[in-house]
């Protein structure tokens, strides 16, 4: 049996995560092309993806410590 609760809250958590990559290429790349190449690699530390004239390596993620929380719903005042 499923319990029906009186109040429902939608909670959003916003953080800034930093992902580190190295892109190497035989030709000069635009900033856009560098960004595109980062989508080719798996987000596992040390993973690499080799393409025809370039290679991208993923080095890891630094998770943001400055979390911002937003609660939507009828909240009780403190």
**With 90 as the cut, is the pLDDT of residue 24 above it?**
yes
* Mean model confidence pLDDT for the chain: 91
User: Is residue 14 predicted with pLDDT exceeding 90?
Assistant: no
What is the reported pTM? 0.68
CA–CA gap between residue 65 and residue 45 (Å, rounded): 20
Distance between CA atoms of residues 43 and 19, nearest Å:
9
Residue 27 has pLDDT above 90, yes or no: yes
DSSP 21-68: EEEEESS---HHHHHHHHTTS-SSTT-EEE-SSEEEEEEEEE--S--E
Residue 21's pLDDT is what?
96
Beta strands 10-14 and 48-50, pairing class: unpaired
In the block, tokens 């939608």 appear at: 10
């Amino acid at each position: 049996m499923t319990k029906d609760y009186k109040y429902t809250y939608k909670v959003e958590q916003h953080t800034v995560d930093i992902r580190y990559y190295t892109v190497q290429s035989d030709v000069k790349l635009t900033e856009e092309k560098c960004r595109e190449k980062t989508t080719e690699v798996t987000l596992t530390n040390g993973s690499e993806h080799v393409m025809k004239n370039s290679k991208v390596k993923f080095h890891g993620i630094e998770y943001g410590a400055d979390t911002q929380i937003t609660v939507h719903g009828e909240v009780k005042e403190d």
